[in-house]
């Protein structure tokens, strides 16, 4: 049986108001159109739905049964419409964000706090994965947008993206465990020491392995973990030399130092905010503004400026398409 939503919509309004004229006002149609729709529905169901008189309108027993089923359906439809409208107008809905532990901790949390304060009715769901897994989740429709490291092998090319900021990676070690401070090392010399880094599921692992491969060197890490903070903790107790983003290193850390490299081995990397093209018009604009406002936190370690100054900058045309 074909279901004509408009007929049941007219029935619902007449049944709730018990007035053809009031239903016509709510539906913005003529009273005769309301009457005609009810006649068509009664004929289709082969049942009388209303008792009409000059003074009032009443539901028949059949009409009462139909209303019991129609009313929940109409409420569900209205609820769905409201959620869609609220999500667009920042009065409600859900926002699914994909980001790694590092990005959440060092960037995203303050802006989520600001956004939640301004729009408390929007439910924020953070999906915590590596940048590679976040890119896959975005492609599979499990997130509305992601904030991820770039380069990223899993990031599709058919996305709207915005560069949030750039950062540099560094090798960091304990002053007590490694007598290397102030010395310039080559990548080949670095391989003589235990290297600690993020595991192979990460963009950081992809990035560093490619750097060594370009120099025809085989990188075999001593320790691979899923946490930059834990890598720094292990470096601090002298278990090895950690490869981490420079913003993860605490300011004025007296136990650690950043190793200096002889050449510009380490290109700059980026944080990108990425989403499917069709989602862009529906995303709350204020969150875009929060992300755009981001200022990159840099440590005041004196060697950091040297590391940043000697780091090669990749041309902007190496980035994916960026929204303006």
Q: How confident is the model at residue 279 (pLDDT cuts 50, 70, 90)?
A: low
Q: What is the pTM of this model?
A: 0.65
Among candidate residues 66, 63, 58, the one with its CA nearest the CA of residue 48? 63
Q: How confident is the model at residue 298 (pLDDT cuts 50, 70, 90)?
A: very low
Run of H or E residues at 8: helix 5-17
Q: How confident is the model at residue 314 (pLDDT cuts 50, 70, 90)?
A: very low
Distance CA 320, CA 262 (A): 30
Mean of the per-residue pLDDT values of the chain:
83
List domains and CATH numbers for the chain: 5-89 (1.10.10.10), 93-324 (3.40.190.290)
Torsion 99-205-155-136 (CA) sign:
negative
- Residue 139 gets the label, from left (phi > 0), alpha (psi -120 to 50) or beta, of alpha
Cα maximum dimension of the chain:
101
pLDDT of residue 79: 81
């Amino acid at each position: 049986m074909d279901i004509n939503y408009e007929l049941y919509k007219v029935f619902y309004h007449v049944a709730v108001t018990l007035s053809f004229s009031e239903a016509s006002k709510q539906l913005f149609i003529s009273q005769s159109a309301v009457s005609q729709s009810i006649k068509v529905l009664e004929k289709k169901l082969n049942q009388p739905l209303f008792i009409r008189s000059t003074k009032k309108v009443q539901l028949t027993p059949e009409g009462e049964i139909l209303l019991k089923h129609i009313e929940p359906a109409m409420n569900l439809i209205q609820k769905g419409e409201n959620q869609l409208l609220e999500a667009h107008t920042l009065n409600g809905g859900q926002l699914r964000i994909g980001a790694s532990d590092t990005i959440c901790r060092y960037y995203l949390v303050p802006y989520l706090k600001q956004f939640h304060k301004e729009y408390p009715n929007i439910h924020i769901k953070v999906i915590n994965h590596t940048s590679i897994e976040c890119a896959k989740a975005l492609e599979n429709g499990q997130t509305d947008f992601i904030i991820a490291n770039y380069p990223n092998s899993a990031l599709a090319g058919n996305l709207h993206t915005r560069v949030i900021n750039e950062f540099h990676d560094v090798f960091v070690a304990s002053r007590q465990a490694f007598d290397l401070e102030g010395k310039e090392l080559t990548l080949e010399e670095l391989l003589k020491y235990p290297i600690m880094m993020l595991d192979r599921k990460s963009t950081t692992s992809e990035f560093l392995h490619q750097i060594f491969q370009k120099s025809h060197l085989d990188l075999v890490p001593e320790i691979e973990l899923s946490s930059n903070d834990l890598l720094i903790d292990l470096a601090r107790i002298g278990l090895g030399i950690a490869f981490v983003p420079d913003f993860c290193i605490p300011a004025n850390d007296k136990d650690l130092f950043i190793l200096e490299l002889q050449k510009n081995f380490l290109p700059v990397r980026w944080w990108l905010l990425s989403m499917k093209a069709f989602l862009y018009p529906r995303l709350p604009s204020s969150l875009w503004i929060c992300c755009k406002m981001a200022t990159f936190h840099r440590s005041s370690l004196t060697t950091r400026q040297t590391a940043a100054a000697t780091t090669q900058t990749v041309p902007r045309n190496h980035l994916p398409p960026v929204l303006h």
